[in-house]
Every structure is written in C-alpha cells, then in structure tokens.
Amino acid sequence: MAVVLVLVLIVVGSVLFHLLSPWWWTPIASNWDYIDNTIIISFWITGIVFAAVVLFMAYCVFRFRHREGNRAAYEPENKRLESWLMIVTALGVTALLVPGLFVWSRFVTVPGDATAIEVVAQQWQWSFRLPGKDGKLGTSDTRDVTADNPLGVAPKDPNGQDDVLVQAADLHLPVGKPVKVLLRSIDVLHD
C-alpha cells in the first residue's frame, strides 16, 4: 500500500511543481514562437503520458496485490490489449512527431524573396559571395578556382560577372531581410 501512495504522490507532486513553479522557459526568439509552442505541446503530451503510466502502475499494484486465496491468472497473449496498446502508442508517437514536422517544414522553407548568398569554407577561413546589381548569383565550380578567381565563379556566366566577393572573417547582413545561405567548400569537408 505504501508503494501505491508513493506513486500517486509522485504524480501529484510533479503536477503541482509544474503548475506552481516560478520557472518557465524563456522564449527562444521573438520570431520563433512556433518552436516554443512545439516544445510546450511535447511537454504536455509527455507529461500526460507520464502521469497516466505512473497512475496505471499504482492501480495495478493496488488491484493485483497479494491476498490470501487469490491465484494469478496466466494470460501470455491478449490480442485486444495488444491492439489497444499499439493504437495508443501510435497515436502518442504521431502526436509528438506532427508538430515537429510542421516546425521543421517552416524552419527549412526559404521565403521566395530571400537573397541567395554563398558561404565558402576554406582551410582556416570563410569567404562569402553576394549577388551584384542583377540580384543573382552566378554559378561556380571548384575547377575554376585560380589565384584571380579564388571562389571559382564561372567566367562565362553573365550572372556572376557582378558578384561581390568578401574574403573576411565577418559578413554583415541587412536586418529584417530573409537570406538563403548556400554552403560549399573549396578544399575539404568542413563539418
């Protein structure tokens, strides 16, 4: 009976701690509220599952405790129980995955008006290529890298003739304007 009481107190204490706690997560960023909302949804789902599992354990400990004269029934397979557990588990996993998939889709979808820039990894440095007045990046290839063409911009591509090359440690971007970053490397993999 003490085990049942401890299990119930764990659930009650966890819920009270959450509801009465002065700690609450700080928003990650003002424009990323959808990520915060997904974390909150995941927290509530896992919290409900935690409470349900612990309360079910308390019920089982109480209901199936040892009593004189009672014999345990051995039931190695229960198709109905297995079906319900499979359905509930599938729904729980789906409820955890779906919000994250929406957030991931929103996170990796580049707005149509984003400016494409190229970030080039080289040993011991980063270089950047920005579109010129035409607003388009030209094509590039590591086979075109020379001393005069350090980022390998295709010499015959008209879109690349006005590209701006930045070979510095910092890149400054305009605030409030979406940017699509294209990553590549000239020499080796930079993980």
Which tens digits make up the pLDDT trace of 91-134?
989 998 998 898 888 888 888 888 889 888 887 888 898 898 88
Phi, psi for 75 (deg, rounded to 5) = -130, 90
pTM of the model: 0.61
CB atoms under 10 Å from CB of 184, counted, come to: 15
Burial category of 51 from C-beta neighbours within 10 Å (exposed 0-12, middle 13-18, buried 19 and up):
middle
* Mean pLDDT of the residues in the chain: 86
Stated as kind and residue range, the H or E segment containing 114 is none
Direct distance between the N- and C-terminal alpha carbons of the chain, in angstroms, rounded to an integer: 55
Can you tell me the distance from the alpha carbon of 138 to that of 79, in angstroms, rounded to the nearest whole number?
62
Q: What is the mean pLDDT of residues 73-94?
A: 91
**Under 8 Å between Cβ of 163 and 148:** no
CA distances from 178 to 133, 137, 181 (A): 17, 16, 10
Q: Hey, CA dihedral for 44, 47, 53, 55, is it positive or negative?
A: negative
- pLDDT for 30: 67
N residues, the chain: 191
